[in-house]
Structure 1
Amino acid sequence: MKAKRKINYRWIIRTFIMTFMLAVIFSVVSEALMRNVNVFSAFLMLMIIIFIGIFFDAIGIAVAAANEKPFHSMASAQIKSAKYSIMLIKNASKVSNFCNDVIGDIAGIISGTTIGIIIGAISQYNIPTKFYPYLSVGISGLVAAMTVGGKAIGKEIAISRAKEVVDFTGKIIYVLKLVFSIGTYKKMLQGRRDRNV
């Protein structure tokens, strides 16, 4: 008889809070950035948001599909980014939840907000109001098609090249950690110098 798997309530609560905070932050920032932009800039922002959703969805799928063994060999060969790839695979369920659900849903919410801003921006071109519903439906349909189609392509790449996707993600995490660690070290060093003056 299989032992019952415990429900990780801490992770659920943490995900809830994290999603709420990220959704609020990204919504406020994106709305602030796009309030005074033209239609072209708003469309460009929308494409970036859609791409972010597709990119993270592919990472979530790749982490769940990847095999851990090749990265242990890479870690043995002193490839520093490999340990981050291993960490991603070991926490596949959490990483997939964050990438596919948290980031994916936030990208979808912001896309919807952006569509509303684009429709508002189009109003400056004196288009008759009777066309607004058609514009809204047309743009929403286009965004949905691009998102679903993009994620379908991303899933194919993520499953067929899971190792490469996870390796690439591990390298990004390694570089980001290295950059932020250097930045933190420089601040600490500067603080010590200031105290010694």
Structure 2
Amino acid sequence: MKKDDGEIQAKTGGKKRRKPSPGTILKKTDVRWIIRIVLFSVAMSAILTLLSAEALENAGYILAFTVLAAFILLGILFDIIGVAVTAADEKPFHSMAAHKQPGAIESLRLIRNAEKVSSFCNDVVGDIAGIISGTTAAIIVTKLQHDLATQNIAISLAVSGAVSGLMIGGKALGKTAAINNSTNIVYFAGRVTRFFTHWGD
């Protein structure tokens, strides 16, 4: 093993991403991770849904559509990161880490924990963004029906269809971009992670 590779593995915990062997069952750490992530998802979904419903109840259309767009974009962005982490190769980051480029070590950690990172980005953040988007869309529909003095179901179908189309279409385009540009995207995520983990250093 080269010296640089040894130093990098020491900094990243000496772990490499490995494929599970056939017949491997869930470890205790995996079970604990699943339980924590489920509880976190339920709690965050409930809290954010309640807060968004309260905040947007008397809000105008501009604020409501801004919140809706923000959560749609958030869901698409984290979906891109989740896909990129699973598609990225470690090799470019070994060279970056050897040259002490900021964010390279963090990028390697993301890749070596791809399963958890992908689960958090695609499932947790993605599902929460979808729930909040749905709640916000329902509030917008209610406002439109009230202001137009109608209960026409076409309004609900149009808004929900537009939200679903934007979310699904955005994620489809994002997946293609994530696979084709996985190195750049993971490195960006690594630098952002470094910024927050070294805040105040």
Q: TM-score, normalised by structure 1?
A: 0.85
Give the counterpart of 1:115 among 119, 137, 149: 137
Task: Render the CA deviation track for 1:47-102: whole Å, top value 9, x for unaligned.
Answer: 11000000000000000000011111111111131111101000001111111111
5 Å-filtered alignment, 1:36-185, equals: 36-125=58-147, 127-131=148-152, 133-179=153-199, 182=200
Amino acid at match of 1:128: A
TM-score (normalizing by structure 2): 0.84
Cα deviation for residue 12 of structure 1 reads 1.2
Superposition pairs of residues 18-29 of structure 1, within 5 angstroms: 18-29=40-51
Give me the identity figure in percent.
Answer: 41
The question of whether the paired residues in 2 share the 8 Å contact of 1:39 and 1:122 is answered with no
Flag structure 1 segments of 5+ consecutive residues without an equivalent.
186-197
In the TM superposition, residue 124 of structure 1 has moved relative to its aligned partner by: 4.6
- Cα-to-partner distance string for 1:10-53 (whole Å, 9 max, x where unaligned): 11111111111221222122223212210121011101100000
Question: Aligned pair in 2 of structure 1 residues 130, 22: CA closer, same or farther (>3 Å)?
Answer: closer
For residues 127 and 142 of structure 2, the distance between their equivalents in structure 1, rounded to whole angstroms, comes to 23
d(CA) in 2 for partners of 1:24, 1:83: 35
Worse overlay, 135-144 or 11-20: 11-20
Q: Aligned partners of 1:35, 1:128: CA distance in 2, in Å? A: 18
